[in-house]
Structure 1
């Protein structure tokens, strides 16, 4: 049977047996310790500088297990030993000093009170005291810790708690989840979450191995469970009755499958649900109410949102203080993104909060405030589009994408809010482009437009946005139908709605190859927008005119439109419209024969696009740069083409939706292939496909070269060590390895230790998983 959690294992070994450990001893580890090399180094450094370090985090994150490992590693630097004090089973805070005294072996030795006996015993000793599971007796633990720190100058304390002790001189270290695998199951052997899952899976279901059939499911399980050790171990235990694929498919945000734990565990940590309920019970009424209210947020929230959505004027406790308490108790995590603090809650905690929100009868009101806040946020982002704050708004919309989606879904469900949702959909036109969410944007529009609404203005704006998104995806039949519906609704005239549709018609004509008509429509729209002071839309028209002129093989006219676009965008610090204008202008300079000038413009564009993280823009610049390099540096050009393909696949759009640019791609491809030959061309393209976005951008900008073809990492093991690793993978013990290789058992043990050290592992099962991953990479079974 698999063990089931880093915070649970120790209590099985202490509480279940009800035997206090003698002074200086730690509970024995009955399962392997996985990962956390960097975190162990961090905690070691903190303990060298501070005398009280508290490991904080939600239940199941691995606080106790990490504390035990640190205590074991630091035992040799504490001449008088290490004392592990399990506090989890205590029912009243007054028992804390007695439990510490008992763990130190002081029971019955002195007539003095427990605190006095503890201080008297520790005063002259150099020791590490581990206070485990302090959260439910945190006040008493804090008092005792402060007493020891003040009276015993050579004693250090390592505590674990879901909230800090808040003692002078304390430093809190938030224990993080285990590292996750990359996309598509890549880099599995480097992921701590995967290593733990595989280790416990083999204990639960002997014979379980990582292979091509289950690697994607294993990676998905670890990502869904967010690297939480307890959740991973509970999941691994399910492999006795489920395949990895079935387990992955059955996991939802509620993690219901993780409802079966170990019989000997304390109830509060026997399942994820019990663990969550324990945390809920430790909260004050105000903290529980706020927990419930913040549960309406999807993928996190920030201070301005919580003040609007979750505040209640009749409540006495300040909201931000209660919010800080939930962070302290590890219900919420707080991360800094520049000058912004963002709060996030694990999915099962959110589900517990939503259940409480329904119970207290606030669900409807809080959800409406959530919806209205995010619709207003979208409106403010749209209003601030043409300005120096554009990049900040792009980042904010990107962070709030989950909440915006939730708000729009609420608008679909509530006919009274449909018009507001349609208007928000229209406001998101450029943001969807930047975030590469064309499919999702079209779904938003489709669902909202399916609901009857008499608000013509809102419907036309949503139809216009949907027209643009379909056009950029190359779906011209859908774009044409959407545009026709919008034009019929708006009717004739020269109002703002009609001008928006003239602009949209110009975009559709551009992608349809009707370039003269495209230019005529865009010039007309630009004229109208300029006259009415809609400068953001006028700048957009001028950027589209630069592209149209390039497609018409009129580079001089393109540069003229580019200068007029810069006249509107540069003075106000706008970036997105300017970047696309620079892109087309760079192509125009190259067409005129000034390749260096064109590449400078493209590089300037790419730096803007990198700051915005716009995939379709980054892909377009790398594509255009490849065209300019095809003659002089064909290998670099082809690598960029391969990297560009990655961007197209992620956003579901491509530059070849514009017929004129598709021709240039084919020309550059043919030019490079003629110089390199098929083999070198294919190798270079594969190198590009293997690059991540950051490396591809750096290559495009000339900041560093691409890695060599078929670069292979230098082996970290000697031939003998690799041979022994293979035998470990086959399940042989050290003695069996020694017999197989005709060496002594001691020599085999030494080789195994060297392998563990070189690979940074702590168990043989991790070595076995690493070998299996190497086999998969080499195409072996």
Structure 2
């Protein structure tokens, strides 16, 4: 059963519309669908159904309408009971899965499209944005659009629809559909004349369609509109494009095939006010290389930075990148966190900052570093290093204090205006508008009458216009009137200002309103809120239940967390999966940690946190070896901050067993996602902390062996795998022995000690058979196939790789399958069958790209280049080999001699075909491609549509 709200509300079952009932049934269902799965109070339903003058029987009539709606929904053959659930103080719609609601599916498709665009795949991005927009049948929630309750959600969806439309048009422009989108954009600038992005896209499309004069005319029209309607000039992006067109400069680098990448987080709520701040910050970034937004916690620095950066994406061809440092508690991980966001790999013999500098040199990029204050000296050192070495990069930082770096330009972020331009309090003032929007999402019948506006104005003024404080106060309108809130805050703030004068006034204001919100909670809510502070980077309901419940078996965590979300002390986020993810704002979290200390519970709650995440890591270990590998990788990525915190707790407490369990379980994640140095450090510290069980030690040692081998540290890899093999023999762990022997055989293969490698891999095969371990059997075969590749027995390599595929049928390890395809592709090419190698290479490149496996992707790109050259595409082949070599070199991984021979042979053939100058040009282009962009290009060239024979259709996920 599926529900539609992007247009008139509807219910479908197996593609057939289900009758809902009369107008009030439709209004009732639409109201429950504003926040599927959340309780809507009976009072709210009365407000929405009957407005300001409900009949006396309204509460009873709500129950009747709910019962009627239940019966109508249950008429579906596939219905399940309990779809409309009574949950005091009202009702909720318990949908089977969030994706069954088109609005939530729209959010997911929009996120997927943004990910594809960021990854350099504009064709996939355009398709996903188009699919998202195709869900819209009309304005959202038309049955209740005139009510206050859904106003914030309607505004959010409408804004996201326009963002999706802009993003789809961006992707269309990237792939060359310039002339095709001009008519659509000409209509959009009429419909949305003050939306600069549409004007920018129209100018770009006209220029690229050979209509530069019309593009300049469009700018004049837009400028006249902005001056007349708003009294301001167009923004920096639009003015910059106009200037480049006047100078006859290309708006994007010649031959660029992708939109400017970015990873800006999606907005969960509407952005209110701050238009002057946005313009000023954009102007400062045009002149200064480092701009720092300063202000107290809760002033809205992060949101302002995100909104500013989002408007500047088109100004930075190499991307706008957001780095959230809130979850980083160890200063040693600052550079690694930035490097991870930018896709910079660790190298065993190079400083990571040097690697960052190499990556950023010449890049026109905006880097947003958020929440710098708790890591102030170390962040300042990193920023100073980047500014000194990379003059083309701009940095936008948020911090409660300045970084104290030469050249830093400050932009203080204060509260929102609480009065309108004429000095009177009304609903046009930014702070009042923010309060009204947030209050409307809590109470349906929130109306800004003159008396209410006056009370809200007093609230906003007393809270210094701080957005977080205003949102916390607005969340209380469900139980208090604005006048009551204003009176309560007046008393609270009077007490605060009589206290210590050492703190900044706005610090005292924010702490006071958080304390006031805290005092209004019941004891259960307070206890849970304090305990939630131990989570780093957010949490799931399951994690909260395990960590925060304690001895209270009757505690309803779902209800309590939901109540804290309603009160704006916890935020709920769409996580990309079926369930929400929750987090505390850092200001609230910091105060919660203080209170946890005051309760004397910090050690006990951190221990529960460590126990839960030790179990999660151990359970994820199997997932990382099977069919849910990608899901497990994404789960660990989401919980990386919590897992780091758990590791710290275990190491500080001397709990070596748990620390080694976590580290030994996470090394496949550290491998695929490029956290080599960090992983090796955690593993070394865990193994040095104390004695652990043999099984745990074997797992941790194999983590050391894996990460060391990838970084080209053969001696460390051999030592760790040899110790793991000895320990496995002593304990009778045949599966562990097989795994350890595989790596010893692999290291021998790399050294071209083929006889020794054969013996070791035969022993690994025997041990895997003894353990009846299909994963170990499959990987032994992969290493055997690689050995035959090195020996030059290509038919045997194909045969063994196919055997490995059969073993993997029962396992489903995506990474392993990608390795078998890579090996088979190389063997087929070397055996004189390049056409057959294309299909294998397509699958390998796609899977390594999706998993984020950098080492595997470097080999797959190399082999893709070899195969493409052999199939008559020498230029593409050279670019892919160059990209592969740049990626491999960035990780410090050595190349096997036989692969070096293949590379040299391919380059020599390309030089004969293209000539040396052309080869050098293609190499320069290829080595500058990011891994993601190189993968996209490789997939396009390998696809059947490129004209390469032999590739069966393969869906690009």
In the superposition, the TM-score normalised over structure 2's length comes to 0.49
Three-state SS of the structure 2 residue aligned to 1:301 is coil
SS in 2 for 1:564: helix
CA displacement 1:74-121 (0-9 Å, x = unmatched): xxxxxxxxxxxxxxxxxxxxxxxxxxxxxxxxxxxxxxxxx99xxxxx
- Once the two structures are superposed, the pairs formed by residues 264-303 of structure 1 within 5 Å of their partners are 266-267=462-463, 269=466, 271=506, 274-275=509-510, 278-279=513-514, 281-283=516-518, 284=521, 285-303=523-541
2:605 counterpart residue number = 366
| Alignment partner, residue 636 of structure 1 | 876
CA gap of 1:156–1:633, structure 2 versus 1, over 3 A, is: same
How far off is 1:563 after superposition? 2.3
Task: Give yes or no for contact 1:309–1:366 (8 Å, CA) kept in 2.
Answer: yes
Q: Corresponding residue for 1:27?
A: none
Which residues in structure 2 correspond to 1:563-582 (within 5 Å)?
Answer: 563-582=802-821
Paired position in structure 2 for 1:601 = 840
Distance 2:786 2:838 in 1: 17
Give the conservation status (yes or no) of the 8 Å contact 2:613–2:642: yes
Larger CA Rg, structure 1 vs 2: 1
Question: Paired residue for 1:399, among 609, 628, 638?
Answer: 638
Q: Which has the higher contact order (CA 8 A, sep 6+)?
A: 1
Measured against aligned partners, the alpha-carbon deviations of 1:538-571 in whole angstroms (never above 9, x if no partner) come to 2111111111211121112212221221221113
Distance 2:764 2:382 in 1: 55
Q: After superposition, where does 1:641-656 map in structure 2 within 5 Å?
A: 641-644=881-884, 647-648=887-888, 652-654=891-893, 656=894
Instruction: State the distance in 2 between where 1:317 and 1:514 align.
Output: 62
Structure 1 spans left out of the alignment, 5+ residues: 1-41, 43-48, 57-114, 117-138, 140-152, 159-166, 706-781
- Superposed CA offset, 1:134-153 (max 9, x none): xxxxx9xxxxxxxxxxxxx9
Structure 1 residue 659 displacement after superposition: 3.3
TM-superposed CA distance for 1:445, in Å, is 0.9
Question: 1:477 aligned to 2:715?
Answer: yes
Rounded Cα–Cα distance in structure 2 between residues aligned with 1:689 and 1:429? 28
What stretches of structure 2 of length at least 5 have no aligned partner? 1-5, 7-25, 35-51, 54-88, 90-142, 168-236, 238-259, 268-272, 309-368, 386-394, 404-411, 418-460, 467-504, 944-957
Q: CA deviation at 1:255?
A: 4.2
| Corresponding residue number in structure 2 for 1:467 | 705
Worse-matched range after superposition: 402-411 or 675-684: 675-684
Q: Is the 8 A contact 1:218 1:248 kept in 2?
A: no
Deviation at 1:326, TM superposition (A): 2.9
Label 1:472 to 1:200 Cα distance change in 2 as closer, same or farther (>3 A): same
Gap change, CA 1:517 and 1:362, over 3 Å in 2:
same
Of 538, 560, 570, which aligns to 1:322? 560
Q: How many residues align?
A: 545
Structure 1 CA distance, aligned partners of 2:626 and 2:766?
A: 21
Change (3 A) 1:311 1:171: same
Q: In the superposition, relative to structure 1, how do residues 212 and 589 fare at CA in structure 2: closer, same or farther (>3 Å)?
A: farther
**Is 2:674 aligned against 1:436?**
yes
Q: Is the 8 A contact 1:582 1:602 kept in 2?
A: yes
- Quote how far apart the aligned CAs of 1:226 are: 7.7
Structure 1 distance, partners of 2:512, 2:307, is 19
Whether contact under 8 Å (1:471, 1:507) holds in the other structure is no
Question: Would the aligned equivalents of 1:287 and 1:322 in 2 still touch at CA under 8 Å?
Answer: yes
**Which range moved further: 545-554 or 504-513?**
504-513
Query: Residues 519-668 of structure 1: matches in 2 within 5 Å?
Result: 519-631=758-870, 632-644=872-884, 647-648=887-888, 652-654=891-893, 656-668=894-906
- Could you say what the CA RMSD is over the residues aligned between the two structures, in angstroms? 5.2
Q: What's the secondary structure of 1:388's corresponding residue?
A: coil
Return the alpha-carbon distance in structure 1 between the equivalents of residues 533 and 878 of structure 2. 48
Q: Deviations over 1:458-492 (max 9, x none)?
A: 33331222012101211123223434554666676
Contact 1:201 1:208 in 2 (8 A): no
Aligned to 2:401: 257
CA shift in 2, pair 1:660/1:154, >3 Å: closer
Q: 1:465 to 1:620 in 2, by over 3 A?
A: same
Q: How much has 1:214 moved relative to structure 2?
A: 3.6
Deviations 1:632-655, CA, capped at 9 Å, x for gaps: 2111112223443564477x254x
* Alpha-carbon distance, 1:171 to partner: 4.0
- In structure 2, the CA distance between the partners of 1:245 and 1:386, relative to structure 1 (3 Å rule), is closer
Alignment deviations for residues 711-770 of structure 1 (CA, whole Å, 9 cap, x no partner): xxxxxxxxxxxxxxxxxxxxxxxxxxxxxxxxxxxxxxxxxxxxxxxxxxxxxxxxxxxx
Measure, in 2, the Cα distance between the counterparts of 1:328 and 1:691. Answer: 45
> Which residue in 1 is equivalent to 2:175?
none
- TM superposition shift of 1:225: 8.6
SS for the counterpart of 1:593 is coil
Distance in 2 of aligned mates of 1:371 and 1:154: 46
For residues 621 and 382 of structure 2, what CA distance do their matches in structure 1 show? 42
* Partners of 1:335 and 1:341 within 8 A in 2: yes
Aligned-partner Cα distance in 2 for 1:414–1:364:
10
Task: Report if the CA contact (8 A) 1:476-1:512 is conserved.
Answer: no
> What is the match of residue 543 of structure 2?
305
Other-structure match for 1:455: 693
Q: Would the alpha carbon gap of residues 225 and 608 (structure 1) be closer, same or farther in structure 2, given more than 3 Å must change?
A: farther
- 1:596–1:658 Cα change, 3 Å: same
Say if 2:618 and 2:662, in contact at 8 Å, map to a contact too: yes
CA–CA distance in structure 2, aligned partners of residues 468 and 504 of structure 1: 8
Q: 1:192 to 1:309 in 2, by over 3 A?
A: closer
3-state SS, counterpart of residue 582 of structure 2: strand
Q: 1:692 to 1:657 in 2, by over 3 A?
A: closer
- Residues 638 and 681 in structure 1, CA contact (< 8 A), matched pair in contact too: yes
Deviation at 1:686, TM superposition (A): 4.1
